[in-house]
């Protein structure tokens, strides 16, 4: 690695001037790159707000937030987002119920029990799992999971919320495992050894000392995973159905906010109509929900963290 | 509980062992189930994934004639353009934040903003792409609009990974470079970037694999579902592998839904494996050279 030097033959004044020019040019260019991320946020907020305002000039916010029927193409159209929100809640909640115990168990195993050899195999496998595209899980849900679910519960629809919850649980699992494992491993050894010295078993140490010590990070990983489940799109659009209804029965066919946006974008709703404008209003609701979950997770990480030094 | 008398808890040891096995089961069960499903899928694609499949366009009616050509080429175009857009901007932003920006509220704000952008669902980026590129700039739902949208999706990942790689370069390298009279940009270009390159490339490739598998933003910008041609220019209509797989999986015809879709998924996964193998190779090849 050689340190760059200008050619010695060039006159000093020119070299300095040229250098300063390049320096300020690069500074400005790099500043622009960093600003691009800010522009992205501004763009998201502006577009969602402007288009949603047009929508809300025709549909009252109260009707949108409290209406129990979502039928944008009916006559007269009804725009109550509760059925879509309920569908999202059902899928995200169901997948969290499945993935959180499994994910936490796997994280504890990797951090406290697994030998380095096993961990070296399992961690890359989890990374691979995290890299499988959403649409592949949609396929798995329809072709493999749905027949199994209907075998166990004959009254279930072909497309149902449980289907979607199961595949979304598999999708968010790697996230819970790797984030939780990181915080579990960062609990200092001295805490564990102190507990062992007091006669605790490995179970006592893990459940009574290590997990509580890492609790803020574990909670944050749950919230981030739930945020991911709320925003999960293709798998849910394929697996959960297209029927926006207000139900908490996981065997029913439902529709989530994300799946509604996909259906409307793919369909031939004419642009500029109220029915088309709905995707921005639903998008805004989705954006605010995931943002709230992410901000809460970051807040927990920042303020609730136990410090050991 | 802790420190309790052993004799008072006759099952403590057994409970501890059961817990250990339960945790191990959690770790292995999900992986086992997924491998089983993927194996099943591989068997469904058997006999369908052949040369004809790779070199034909989609077919509306006959599953045996359907192919993945338009989607494959579309995905390659899309990833190529996304790389050209996302890498310079993302790495540039990381360099600015790590090497140029002073500790200030502005920098903290940008950093928080990037962390939050990483958590925004990809379909929301699709809505942004629809409003900004497709309609605002009147690009239509072409390859360029798709690539720009995917760039926005992966930009936070590229920035965060590059920042991490730059942070891992020891500060002694910077100090030595400045002490020899190098300017800030010379230090970045000749010292920091070469040293951080393996880390940056790994992050970039992970981000690109994410972009390769994304269908939601492309659906939202209105990318065409049924395409019988290969895109010629950057504003041509296109389809991509995940989009094509979605359409097949949605098809009422069972041969499309089960077999053709499985063959498409295998092609997509094969591309992802190639990308990730490149990442591992690059990390190995360039990672060795650096010794501090």
User: For every one of its 309 residues, what pLDDT tens digit does chain A have, with 9 covering 90 and above?
Assistant: 444 444 444 455 556 777 788 889 999 999 999 999 999 999 999 999 998 998 999 888 898 898 888 888 877 888 889 999 999 999 999 999 999 999 999 999 999 998 888 888 888 888 888 889 999 999 999 998 999 999 999 988 888 999 999 999 999 999 999 999 999 999 999 999 999 999 888 899 999 999 999 999 999 999 999 999 999 999 999 998 888 888 888 888 899 999 999 988 887 677 778 888 898 999 999 999 999 999 999 899 888 776 665
pLDDT of residue A11: 52
B186 and A129 in contact by Cβ < 8 A?
no
The minimal CB distance from A37 to the residues B117, B214, B262 is found for B117
Low-confidence winner among A188-202, B89-103, B209-223, B247-261 (lowest mean pLDDT): B247-261
For chain B, say whether A233 makes contact (Cβ under 8 Å).
yes
pLDDT above 90: percentage of residues in chain B: 40
Closest C-alpha to B229, from B133, B142, B149, B145? B142
Residues of B in contact with A144 (CB under 8 A): 37, 40
pLDDT of residue A15: 67
What's the rounded mean pLDDT across residues B45-64? Answer: 81
A51 and B93 in contact by Cβ < 8 A?
no
Residue A227 to residue B105: CA distance in whole angstroms: 27
Q: CA of A75 to nearest chain B CA: how many angstroms apart?
A: 25
Q: List the structure tokens of A245.
A: 């209804």
Q: Which residue of A has its CA nearest to B135?
A: A271
Q: ipTM above 0.90? A: no
Residue with tokens 């045996």: B64
Beta strand segments in A91-187, E: none
pLDDT of residue A256: 92
Interface test with B, best of A7, A21, A37, A264 (most B CBs within 10 A): A37
SS3 label, residue A20: helix
Q: Which residues are paired to A79 by β-bridges?
A: A70
For chain B, say whether A31 makes contact (Cβ under 8 Å).
yes
Low-confidence winner among A272-281, A283-292, B94-103, B161-170 (lowest mean pLDDT): A272-281
Instruction: Identify whether the C-beta of residue A168 lies closer than 8 Å to the C-beta of residue A91.
Output: yes
Q: List the structure tokens of A185.
A: 């491993």
Cα separation values, B38 from A113, A126, A275, B32, B284, Å = 28, 15, 39, 10, 28
The minimal CB distance from A286 to the residues B124, B189, B272 is found for B124
pLDDT of residue B290: 62
Residues of A in contact with B120 (CB under 8 A): 44, 231, 287, 290-291
Q: Which residue of A has its CA nearest to B19?
A: A203
Instruction: Name the H helices within B96-191.
Output: 105-118, 122-129, 143-167, 171-179, 184-187
- Spacing of C-alpha A171 from chain mean position: 10
Q: List the structure tokens of A219.
A: 């909670």
Mean confidence (pLDDT) of chain B: 86
> Residue B143 pLDDT more than 60?
yes
Residue with tokens 């041969």: B255
pLDDT of residue B289: 60
pLDDT of residue B106: 84
For chain B, say whether A143 makes contact (Cβ under 8 Å).
yes
Give one word for B3, left, alpha or beta, with left for phi > 0 and alpha for psi -120 to 50.
left
Residue B68 to residue B245: CA distance in whole angstroms: 9
- Tens of pLDDT, residues B171-227: 999 999 999 989 899 999 999 998 898 889 888 998 999 999 999 999 998 887 777
The minimal CB distance from A143 to the residues B101, B177, B258 is found for B258
Handedness of CA A243, A246, A248, A249 (dihedral sign): negative
Residue A233 to residue A240: CA distance in whole angstroms: 10
Phi, psi of A71 (to 5 degrees): -145, 75
Residue A134 to residue B153: CA distance in whole angstroms: 15
What's the rounded mean pLDDT across residues B226-253? Answer: 84
The minimal CB distance from B23 to the residues A109, A134, A266 is found for A109
Q: CA of A114 to nearest chain B CA: how many angstroms apart?
A: 8
Instruction: Identify whether the C-beta of residue B3 lies closer than 8 Å to the C-beta of residue A198.
Output: yes
pLDDT of residue B63: 79
pLDDT of residue A190: 92
B16 and A103 in contact by Cβ < 8 A?
no
- Tens of pLDDT, residues A176-224: 999 999 999 999 999 999 999 998 888 999 999 999 999 999 999 999 9
pLDDT of residue B87: 95
Residues of A in contact with B268 (CB under 8 A): 133, 136
Residue A44 to residue A287: CA distance in whole angstroms: 9
DSSP letter, residue A40: H
Closest C-alpha to B265, from A168, A126, A234, A137? A137
């Amino acid at each position: 690695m050689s340190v760059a030097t200008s050619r010695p033959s060039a006159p000093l004044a020119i070299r300095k001037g040229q250098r300063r020019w390049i320096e300020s040019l690069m500074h400005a260019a790099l500043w622009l790159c960093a600003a691009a991320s800010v522009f992205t946020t501004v763009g998201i907020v502006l577009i969602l707000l402007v288009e949603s305002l047009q929508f809300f000039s025709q549909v009252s916010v109260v009707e949108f937030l409290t209406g129990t029927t979502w039928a944008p193409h009916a006559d007269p159209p009804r725009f109550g987002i509760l059925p879509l929100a309920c569908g999202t809640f059902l899928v995200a909640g169901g997948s969290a119920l499945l993935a959180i115990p499994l994910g936490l168990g796997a994280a504890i195993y990797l951090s406290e029990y697994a030998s380095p050899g096993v961990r070296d195999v399992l961690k890359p496998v989890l990374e691979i799992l995290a890299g499988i595209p959403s649409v592949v899980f949609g396929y798995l849900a329809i072709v493999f999971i749905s027949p199994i679910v209907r075998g166990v519960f004959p009254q279930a629809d072909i497309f149902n919320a449980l289907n979607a919850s199961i595949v979304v649980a598999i999708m968010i699992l790697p996230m819970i495992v790797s984030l939780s494992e990181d915080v579990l491993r960062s609990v200092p050894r001295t805490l564990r050894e102190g507990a062992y010295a007091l006669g605790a078993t490995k179970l006592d140490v893990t459940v009574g000392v290590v997990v509580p010590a890492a609790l803020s990070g574990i909670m944050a990983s749950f919230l981030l995973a739930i945020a991911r489940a709320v925003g999960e799109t293709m798998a849910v659009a394929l697996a959960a159905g297209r029927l926006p209804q207000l139900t908490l029965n996981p065997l029913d066919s439902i529709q989530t906010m994300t799946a509604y946006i996909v259906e409307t974008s793919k369909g031939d709703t004419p642009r500029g109509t109220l029915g088309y404008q709905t995707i921005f209003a639903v998008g805004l609701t989705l954006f605010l929900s995931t943002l709230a979950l992410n901000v809460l997770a970051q807040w927990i990480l920042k303020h609730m963290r136990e410090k050991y030094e | 509980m802790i420190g309790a008398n052993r004799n008072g808890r006759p099952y403590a040891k057994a409970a501890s062992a059961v817990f250990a096995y339960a945790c191990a089961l959690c770790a292995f069960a999900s992986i086992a189930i997924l491998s089983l499903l993927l194996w099943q899928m591989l068997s469904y694609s058997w006999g369908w994934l052949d040369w004809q499949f790779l070199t034909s366009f989609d077919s509306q009616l006959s599953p045996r004639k359907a192919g993945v050509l338009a989607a494959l080429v579309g995905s390659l175009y899309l990833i190529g353009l996304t790389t050209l857009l996302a890498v310079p901007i993302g790495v540039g932003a990381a360099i600015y934040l790590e090497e140029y920006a002073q500790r200030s509220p502005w920098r903290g704000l940008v950093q928080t903003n990037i962390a939050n952008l990483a958590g925004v669902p990809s379909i929301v980026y699709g809505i942004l792409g629809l409003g900004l590129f497709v309609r605002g700039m009147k690009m239509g739902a072409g390859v360029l609009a798709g690539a720009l949208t995917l760039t926005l999706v992966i930009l936070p990942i590229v920035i965060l990974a590059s920042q991490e790689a730059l942070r891992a370069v020891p500060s002694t390298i910077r100090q030595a470079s400045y002490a020899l009279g190098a300017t800030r940009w010379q230090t970045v270009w000749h010292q920091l970037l070469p040293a951080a390159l393996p880390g940056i490339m790994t992050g970039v490739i992970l981000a690109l694999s994410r972009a390769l598998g994304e269908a939601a933003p492309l659906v939202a910008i209105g990318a065409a579902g049924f395409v019988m041609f290969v895109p010629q220019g950057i504003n041509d209509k296109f389809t991509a592998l995940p989009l094509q797989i979605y359409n097949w999986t949605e098809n009422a015809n069972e041969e499309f839904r089960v077999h053709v879709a499985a063959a498409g998924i295998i092609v997509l996964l094969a591309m992802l494996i190639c990308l990730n193998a490149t990442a591992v190779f690059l990390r190995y090849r360039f990672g060795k050279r650096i010794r501090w």
